[in-house]
Amino acid sequence: MVSIISSCIIIPSEPTPNGLMNLSELDQIPGMKHVPPLLFFFKSNPAGTFSDLTQKLKDSLSKILVPYYPLAGRLSRIDGRFELDCNGHGVEFVEAKSNETKVVDDYIDFEPTEVVKDFIPSIDYNKIPLEEWPLLLVQLTKFRCGGVCFGIAFSHTVCDGWAQLMFFNAWTKLVREEDNCQVHGETMQPLHDRTFLNSTCHSLPRFDHREFKAPPVLLNCSATTKTEQEQSISVSVLRVSKEQIENLQKEAETKSTYEAIAAHMWRCACKARQGHTNQPTTILSVVDIRRKLKPQIPLNYFGNAILHTLTPTCLFGEILTHPLSYTAQKVRESIQILTDEYIRSVIDFVKIQRQGMDSLRVGSPTGYYYGNPNLNIGCATSLPVYDVDFGWGKPVYVGLGTFINVDGRSFIMPGPAGDGSIVITLRLQTQHMEAFKKFFYGDIGQFCKSKL
């Protein structure tokens, strides 16, 4: 149980630019909700009372919102598109305390279930109008052991994971260095110019954008039936050591952690689901395109610079009879397709979807179902989330606060030890979960033995 001590709105400490900010085409795709929320657990906090700590965070948050002023605005919908009203209405900050006897260590490797949902502020999306949603939600929860949980959630329409971490780093630096850190300094300035990702509208899309089309469905199962969506879903957290990753990379013949892990998960899912050998299947994943455009997008760009991409369609039988390197190559192809020309074509494609934008958005009720026989994998292994330091040490664990309750959905994050390990949060139909875990770890063990 968590008790709310106080809740308030934090506004920028100085006047900021106001008016309508046009969002890019890539800002239209991720969905408007606050996903995925993250929880940072710290074992100790600086000297002083919890009230002093909270006030310090509020004051610094108010200051950092000056250069990051879009976060203090509100979304609006105009002709089916989202736009950002930079009105300075502020972000939500909640102060809370845990009433349980659990300590911070009890939440290491936690699963994103009802157990931790109270550590993040919630919004009733059905009752509160879009124009009133704060775009940033923050909650600081203290434990009886002296540790704290820092829960944070951004509206995904406004920024992606890299941009969120950039904001975090600027904020934590301000907290640590206090008066020695200037919010108007060059290192604090995000780039808000979203014209990098404007559509040229010089031509129609040049490619067949399969990532926006319906994925394969189960054979002998109508595409309109909701039978699969109504199956019981379970969530599990899978830990993979650096040595296990290296064994997978050797077997997959790749140096990419993502390619090796995604290929292995794909094979294990096919095994666990026990589908027909002729069952088509794909993986939908997300790729950062900052370095793929020409010219490259500056790293301080504050917005969405990610795209969904789809593997070639494979058959269960192909995946299970070919070596892991075959499946890894299919994953690699989904990433290699994202050239400058292809990305520009995506932007033009989204530009002309005025009437059908909702079906393109992740998590939309009218969007496509990427569960059985497919997978939907998110990956944040390149984000140094364990470098977040407010001045009382680095977090002992970082995990997802909530997670979309859809079969086949997974998210890969770096492990807490900083030793090259990873943590996978996975949702799968309950009837397939135990078999998946058996194959997941059992096959890694077999790969290891084969190298001896």
Calculate the CA dihedral of residues 244, 245, 246, 250 and round it to 10 degrees.
Answer: 100
First-last CA distance in the chain: 50
In contact, 21 and 84? CB cutoff 8 Å: yes
Q: Are 118 and 2 in contact (CB under 8 A)?
A: yes
Q: Are 413 and 423 in contact (CB under 8 A)?
A: yes
Q: What are phi and psi of 167, to 5 degrees?
A: -60, -45
Structure tokens at 112: 């994103």
CB 210 within 8 A of CB 223: no
Question: Comparing C-alpha atoms, which of 309, 434, 448 is closest to residue 379?
Answer: 309
156 is catalytic: yes
Q: Which of 59, 106, 358, 389 is catalytic?
A: 389
Q: For tokens 């002093």, name the residue.
A: 52
Q: Which of 156, 209, 264, 308 is flagged as catalytic?
A: 156
The whole-angstrom separation of Cα 280 and Cα 370 is 12
* Length reported for the chain: 452
Residue 85, both tokens: 């009203």
Q: Known catalytic residue: 85? A: no
Residue 260: CB atoms within 10 A of its CB come to 27
Letter for the amino acid at 122? Answer: S
SS (H, E, C) 36-98: CCEEEEECCCCCCCHHHHHHHHHHHHHHHCCCCHHHHCEEEEECCEEEEEECCCCEEEEEEEE
Catalytic residues: 156, 389
